A and B are shown apart, each in its own frame.
Chain A
Amino acid sequence: MTSTLIRVALLVSAALFAIGVTGVLLRRNAIVVFLCVELMLNAVNLSLVAFSRLLGIDGQIIVFFVMAVAAAEAAVGLAIIIAVFRHYEDVDVDRFDLLKW
């Protein structure tokens, strides 16, 4: 019973992670890309929570760390996106190619 639930949770988590990856791959808007990364982190969180059902509390504690990190990333990330926007007036990631080759 538990293991089935965990397996489902893990699969959902993997699916979410894959959706996040696909989003990063396909989307061009920097903010959306970043949101997809957040989705991936949350997918991992789901896995961690699922494992902690089996292995004890540690997994859930890790989730908090991950959330905190995600928050920090969000803060920094949005600031950077704003900085970029000030130069390019755009957030389409494929338009930034001053640096190449």
Chain B
Amino acid sequence: MSGASDVAGQVGYLRALLPEIVLTVSALVVLLVDVFQRGEHRGPSGSSVRWLSVIGVLLAAAANVTLISLGPAGPDALVALDGFRVLANFIILGATLLGLLFAFDYLKREGLEIGEFYALLLLASVGMMILSGAQDLVLIFLGLEMMSISVYVLTAFNREDPRSAEAGLKYFLIGAFASAFFIYGVALLYGATGTTHLVRMASVLSHGHPGLLTAGGAGLLLIGFGFKVSAVPFHAWAPDAYQGAPTPVTGYMASGVKAAAMLALFRVLWVSLGSVQGYWHGTIWWLAVLTMVVPNLVALVQDDVKRMLAYSSVAHAGYLLVGVAAGGPLGRGAALFYLVVYTLMTVGAFAVVYVVAGKGDRHSHLADFRGLGWRRPWLAGALGIFLLSLAGFPPTGGFVGKLYLLRAAVGSHQPGLAVILVLTSLVAYYYYLRVVWKMYFEDAPADVPEPDVTGRAFRFGAVLCVAGILVAGLVPGPAVDAAGSAGLTGASAPSVDESVASTAPGARQDAKPRTHPRRAAARAQE
């Protein structure tokens, strides 16, 4: 654990961590302001905390922008400074912003307007950013826990609702259980290599003879991450937690938590364990397959839209795992790009669900969506686009994302994964379309409750999601370029040899880009 020595001074270190710091500070400010504002009375928090948290997120995003121009941190840095992290931060901050926007109306409706909510949300985001950006297993563990503990609380946040408490408990108990596996894995890897730093671990592993400790450590890490990304068979908590949690939290959890964990998994596997793929690649492959197959099938029989979406987001973890299994620039880009789109559509979809479900989240049954398309065309239209994107239909971002994943799978010589991906997508069409058909093909009987009216924040958030999805579907160029060229410090041994960057400008940060003869020729052509 010797990290700071190679950073050019404390100021530089602070600059490199600016987004996290900004966000932490805003969380604390929110907490303080809330305390002072509310004083003794136990009423709802004022609106200032909302806007403070939004501003905090925006400031963090601005800080994140400054990271782009910073050069790469040294290989020993605890927190990486690479395109991967920057993009991950954007995804997380985006999820946070959307989570906040969608939470406003919800919290007011449910009487949960308490400042801690915002603070917890922001702190969870800090945890996520650390998780996805850290280059040291211990720091990753800390980020993981910071995120998790905050989210446990958020899950159980609705004290009036037993479902919320139950979800919190299940999530917490299994989460803690999984954390133990994770840290055990860290311990074993530490024992095997003598370091917890990813890059150094990689170099140790590539020179030494990895043994049982490494293998066990890798396996345990996979289990820990498997829980966080809700990979089958470690997913069982997810549908329950997603369903029980307050709906905006569900969206936030399904996107932010998954994004951070998935990206951290990617970094750990391909940076530190890249040279020992034999220990984990088969496992990841199977995890991906199971995670695509099982939740999609189970979602077929769900009649509750929220729970159906919960299963759907578990299934999306499977799609993302395809990107992880593919690895390389293509897999990395695919995972990043898909996460961007996935965040937009999942958060958006859950948000629409809570509007339809009404107070107490009571009416999220499929039947409650009957005729929504004609009663609330905008709301239904938005949900329709989210669903189409989740299904992976052009011209939405979901389609481009799926194509990206397919290319990654094919490019890494895993056509089987690609085929399973599309076949499970086909299964998914059925349940997504079922919602669409309820919304448009059936008429609402008189006793279907009217959905809530929506506030400005919600509408803004929804427009943001829809616009984002369509932009990602119609002009995905910039996003594809960014994702495709996002470097990953210390990534080596790309299993993918198709380069997307042949036409994309920007630095390649791959430590050892394998030079393919044809690729060299292609570069020469340009």
Interface residue ranges, A against B (CB under 8 Å):
10, 17, 20, 24, 30, 33-34, 37, 40-41, 43-44, 47-48, 50-51, 54-56, 58-59, 61-62, 65-66, 69, 72-73, 76-77, 79-81, 83-84, 86-88, 93, 96, 98-101
Contacts and interface: CB of A to CB of B under 8 A. Distances in A.
B196 A62 contact: yes
Nearest to B155: A80
B138 A37 contact: no
- Chain A at the B interface: mostly helix, strand, loop or mixed? helix
Interface stretch (B35-43, B159-167, B368-376): B159-167
B168 A80 contact: yes
Interface stretch (B105-113, B141-149, B286-294, B340-348): B141-149
A72 B149 contact: yes
Interface in B157-196: 159, 162-163, 165-170, 172-173, 176-177, 179-181, 183-184, 186-188, 190-191, 194-196
A77 to B, nearest CB: 5
B244 interface: yes
- Chain B at the A interface: mostly helix, strand, loop or mixed? helix
Contact of A87 (B162, B191, B240, B243): B162
Interface of B: 1, 138, 141-142, 145, 149, 152-153, 156, 159, 162-163, 165-170, 172-173, 176-177, 179-181, 183-184, 186-188, 190-191, 194-196, 239-240, 243-244, 301-302, 307
A37 B176 contact: yes
A76 B180 contact: no
Contacts of A93: 169, 173
B166 A99 contact: yes
B169 A96 contact: yes
A33 B173 CA distance: 8
Contacts of A44: 180, 183-184, 187
Contacts, number: 129
Nearest to B174: A24
Contacts of B138: 62, 65
A99 B168 CA distance: 11
24 contacts: A33-B173, A37-B177, A40-B184, A41-B180, A44-B180, A44-B183, A44-B184, A44-B187, A47-B188, A48-B187, A55-B190, A59-B190, A69-B142, A72-B149, A73-B172, A79-B153, A80-B168, A80-B169, A81-B169, A84-B162, A88-B162, A88-B166, A98-B162, A99-B243
Given A37-B176, A99-B244, A72 B145 contact: yes
A54 to B, nearest CB: 8
Contacts of A72: 145, 149
Contacts of B156: 80, 83-84
Contact of B163 (A41, A73, A98): A98
A33 B176 CA distance: 10
A77 B176 contact: yes
B202 to A, nearest CB: 17
A51 B168 contact: no
Contacts of A48: 187, 190
A42 B240 CA distance: 29
B68 to A, nearest CB: 31
Contact of B167 (A47, A65, A99): A99
B152 A98 contact: no
A76 B173 contact: no
Nearest to B197: A58
B162 A73 contact: no
Given A69-B145, A99-B240, A83 B167 contact: no
Contacts of B169: 30, 80-81, 83-84, 93, 96
A99 B163 contact: yes
Nearest to A33: B173
A10 B243 CA distance: 40
A58 B1 contact: yes
Contact of B194 (A55, A73, A96): A55
A37 B180 contact: yes
B453 to A, nearest CB: 28
B177 A65 contact: no
B306 to A, nearest CB: 11
B260 to A, nearest CB: 17
Closest 5 CB pairs of A and B: A40-B180, A87-B162, A99-B240, A51-B191, A96-B166
